[in-house]
Structures are given as C-alpha cells and as structure tokens.
Amino acid sequence: MPRGGKPIGWYQLHRLIGELADGIRASNFKPDVIIGLGRRGWVFARLLSDHLGVSDLITLHANTPIDVGRISTLELRNRRILIVFDVEEAADALGDAIQNLRDYGASEIRTATLLLPRSSKVAVDYHHSLGEGVIYPWELHRRRGV
C-alpha cells in the first residue's frame, strides 16, 4: 500500500458523494451556491454540484484569512450556501469563510465534507465518517508514495 493512507477509487468516490447528496436532500436543504474550499474541496464540490443540480459553483483556496469579497460575479446576499471542504486540508480556513459569507448577507450556510475523521473537532452539517488516511483518485503523488 502507498504511504499516507488507503486509496479509494472513482467508483467508491462517486458512490460516497451520491450518498452525501442524498443526505443533503433528505434534510430539505437546497443550496443556491456551492463553494469548494481547498484543492480536495474543489473536486468534491464539482461532483456534489452535479448530484444536487446546483449550477453556481465557486472554488476558493484554503488560505486564511479567506476574503470571499473577491467573488464579485455572483451575488451572495440572501443565498443558501453549501461549503464543501476536506477537513485535513481546509478546516482552519472554514471559520473565516463562514464569517465572511455571513458578512456578505448569505441567508443560510451549511458545510459538507466527504470524510470526517473520528478525531475531528470541526462541526460539519453533512459528512461520511470512514476514518483517517484516505488517498483520493486524483492524488497521484500520494498514490505513488512520493
């Protein structure tokens, strides 16, 4: 097995994202905008937007502080926003992103992550809990043990 964790394939990834989308729909939350936070969050957000039928999709780097004001092409006021991120990569940036979105007048903000480690202290609205050390299909450098 490569260093850094257990690899999962595209088929399993799509299945997990489909289950995550089912959970979001079951909660009656219908996001107007999905924001992918960080490199891993970008991929999750793109795939989740397809499952949920959300066409307004934004990606942001997971650097802190996050200034969502640079998103000038999309009005955020009175919009329901789903932030999709990877806990390992972007948890530290999440609080800044949420606060900035509130400041811009978002009506509701919820969060989703594909895999929430059991040890995580981050509160997330929608997630799977498969443990730690997962290598995603696009992480070729981690798959090779580099």
Q: Secondary structure of 89-101 in the HEC alphabet?
A: HHHHHHHHHHHHH
Is pLDDT of 1 > 50? no
- Position 82 scores a pLDDT of 96
Q: How far is CA 128 from the centre of its chain?
A: 12
CATH of the domain at 57: 3.40.50.2020
Decide if 27 is inside a domain: yes
Tell me the pLDDT tens digit for each residue of 44-83: 899 999 999 999 998 877 665 666 666 655 678 899 999 9
Decide if 36 is inside a domain: yes
pTM of structure: 0.84
Q: Once rounded to an integer, what is the mean pLDDT over residues 124-134?
A: 77
Q: Which two tokens stand for residue 90?
A: 């972007």
Decide if 39 is inside a domain: yes
Decide if 143 is inside a domain: no
Decide if 38 is inside a domain: yes
User: Count of domains in the chain?
Assistant: 1
Domain span at 31 = 6-138
Confidence of residue 2 (pLDDT cuts 50, 70, 90): very low
Decide if 145 is inside a domain: no
- Position 4 scores a pLDDT of 59
